[in-house]
Amino acid sequence: MSRPLVAVAFVLLLPLSTSAEVANVTITSRAIAADGKSFGSIGPYEKLVGRIEFALDPSDPHNSRIVDLTLAARGPDGRVHFSSDLYVIRPVDASKGNGVLLFEIANRGGKGLLPRFNRDATRSDDPSSVSDFGDGFLMREGYTLVYVGWEFGLSAPRVGLSAPPITLPAGSSVDPIAVDVIVPARTTETYLADESFRPPVLYPPTDVAEPTGRLTVRDRFWNEPVAIARERWRFVMDSKGVPKLQLDGGFDPGRWYRVTYRPTRPVVAGVGLAAIRDAASAFRNRSDLPIRGRAAYVMGVSQTGRFVRQFLYEGFNVDERDRKVFDAAWVHIAGAARGSFNERFARPSHGDMFEATKFPFADADETDVDGSRDGLLSRYRQDQLPKVFYTNTPVEYWAGGRAAALTHTSVDGTRDLPSSDNIRRYLLSGTQHGPAPFPPPPAGTGGRTTVESGGQELPNPTPQANVMRALLRALHQWVSDGTPPPPSQYPRLGDGTLVRIHEVKFPALPRVADPRRIVGPARRIGGKVVPLPHLIPQVDGDGNDLAGVHDPEAAVPLATTTGWNFRSERVGNPGDIYELLGAYIPFARTRAEREASGDPRRSIEERYRNVDDYVQRVRSAAMNLIHGRYMLEEDLDAVLARARAHWNYAMSDRAPAAAERR
């Protein structure tokens, strides 16, 4: 439990000056974290919870890219005012920390840094107990973790943003918006997003009986949609007055439904970009605030990795005084996508991830098919550029809405692009978008999430954290003392480790679907669907990735671990992949077992003499990573313990046949 440092709320109100982008900071709660546990030489940590008020000048050129900012109401100072939640975890004694403000762009308002980097940490929206902090890696490293709300429509304990509403000019009409819905089981009613997201409807329809509304269905995203008769579907209200979509005869699981309607309640969603910019700039440059640091790094994961790409592309790593905001940016599992973050009727959580794959894809200037030139980092002077890490899994190469290869190849997919000195990129080989638990839950049993039980194959539990922890330390050394991080490790066309999908040499495995039929990325140009190159990491004879950084578990395999997994019959549409899910396809235990099943991959007994031989090979792979600074020496014991557990699982009567999981 957290121990309060004060009996009543501690409030700091800062007066707005004519030049302040951060107008007020209110700290309403301050408490000791992790029951006062001391983290190495850094000591105990505390939590601060509060609110930040911002003021933006719509006439400032630095704010000109915020869509609809000029349509929001202004205060007496001529500025647009809005506010965000603030959540900070920091050393009690700031002088013992490393001076870095580590901003995590909260994914749908949640907090993921602790379970991502602190071994055995539990996930919590309000980390308080010792177990929430796990092994305390981030704390022992001395970071101050900062969360500033950027996404509107979220409620406590999620970190959110109160976006200013806009007033459309008199006589202007509202264009329809299109929302895609996929249901995991047959149902007659559904919200316009997964019910785990809040709110499930950002923009209620202008008229629930709108006669011009349209509902279509298709089996794959880029298929030609089939219209559903208007009299068969309608909007209905739930008990809280939230609209749901109702369809006579019901929705089929796994199919893509798209409803088009005229929305209400537009807001300036793009102020979330300015909230991150101005909070980071203020915390590192002003002396009158309760949060301070010498340097600032930003990390975004999946949805928020796409946000960081958008943040960089829109030029927000420069504040209103032309100062660099973040010294380092880490974009994790975002591929080449951005998102619906800065547009009218933006849908940050519910937006179309396929149509988020937009030019430019790469950092430096490129020429698109229409002759236009642009680059993700083209808006910065050299002294304003952050150092950037891009980390992806194979999922971001296989999944249709990510197109990760286009971040480092030409738009036509024919040549590798040179990498800038401020960029490093790493493929986390053999992993999925977010690791499944170990041992992987059998399909159909529920698992932690619907996703983990939605594939024909077992979900992929290959860890990311062993490499991620080492990369974070390397990133800090790069910024703080100029020590170059480990060399980039990712698939390339030039050495044959990146290929077009039909060239992937995935083995023919019994009862396992052929991944070469997966439909790749595309984009809309002039209303037409135009395919993008579908470039995939090449695999070895087992179906495992050749390029990238291999966790010891992937370097010394007991299974084929992929970045794709076809949908199970249970969740519908088994001819398509379950987006963002990878697969764990175990090796046969014995030669006799593999010969009986027709599996071309060598069995476990044909690869390793016994468990000790296997663990020794894992140790050797781990030491190679440690020497290359892709893994920390302190993580070796945990890796070896998991190796023994993995061997016991792999050699037990585990993993049902693929046909039984469909």
pLDDT tens, 388-400? 999 999 999 998 8
Of 273, 279, 12, the C-alpha closest to 144 is 279
Question: Which of residues 218 and 353 earns the better pLDDT score?
Answer: 218
Q: What local confidence, expressed as pLDDT, does residue 412 receive?
A: 96
**Model-level pTM?**
0.95
Mean pLDDT of all residues in the chain? 92
Three-class secondary structure assignment of 200-211: CCCCCECCCCCC
Cβ contact 616:605 at 8 Å? no
Express each pLDDT in 516-533 by its tens digit: 999 999 988 877 888 999
C-alpha 85/C-alpha 655 separation (Å) is 44
Q: Pick the range with the lowest mean pLDDT from 285-299, 307-321, 354-368.
A: 354-368
CA-CA distance, 336 to 248, in Å (whole number)?
A: 38
Cα–Cα distance for residue pair 307/312, rounded to 1 Å:
9
What is the pLDDT at residue 557?
Answer: 98
- Residue percentage of the chain with pLDDT more than 90: 81
Q: How high is the pLDDT of residue 211? A: 87
Q: Which residues contact 560 (CB under 8 A, 6 or more apart)?
A: 509, 542, 543, 544, 583, 584, 585, 587, 601
How far is residue 373's CA from residue 375's CA, in Å, rounded to a whole number? Answer: 7
pLDDT higher than 70, residue 423:
yes
How far is 639 from 522, CA to CA, in rounded Å? 39
Higher pLDDT, 570 or 23: 23
Give residue limits of the domains in the chain: 3-165+269-351, 177-261
The C-alpha atoms of residue 465 and residue 447 are separated, in whole angstroms, by 20
Tens digits of residue pLDDT in 598-648: 999 999 999 999 999 999 999 999 999 999 999 999 999 999 999 999 999
- Of 134-143, 566-575, 632-641, the range with the lowest mean pLDDT is 566-575
**Cα(233)–Cα(251) distance, integer angstroms:** 10
Write down the pLDDT at residue 20.
64
**Residue range 315-342: mean pLDDT, rounded:** 97
Residue 172 in this model has a pLDDT that exceeds 90:
no
Q: Half-sphere exposure of residue 318, counting CA atoms within 13 Å on the CB side?
A: 20
Single-letter amino acid, residue 36: G
- Half-sphere CA count of 240, side-chain side, radius 13 A: 7
Q: What is the pLDDT of residues 355-375, one digit of tens each?
A: 778 999 999 999 998 999 999
What is the reported pLDDT for 662? 43
Residues of the chain with pLDDT > 70: what percent? Answer: 92
What type of residue is 520? G
Residue among 579, 575, 602, 577 nearest 591 (CA): 602
Whether pLDDT at 6 is above 80: no
Given a cut of 80, is residue 10 above it in pLDDT?
no
Indicate whether 452 pLDDT > 90: no
Quickly state the pLDDT bin for 546 (edges 50, 70, 90): very high
Provide mean pLDDT across the span 232-256.
93
With the C-alpha atoms ordered 55, 61, 63, 69, is the resulting torsion angle positive or negative?
positive
State the pLDDT confidence band at 446, using cuts at 50, 70 and 90. very low
Closest by CA to 393, choosing from 428, 357, 361, is 428
- Give the pLDDT confidence score for residue 655 in this predicted structure: 52
Flag the least confident range among 153-157, 212-216, 394-398: 153-157
pLDDT tops 60 at residue 15? no
Is the pLDDT at 453 greater than 80? The verdict is: no
| Predicted local confidence at residue 659, as pLDDT | 39
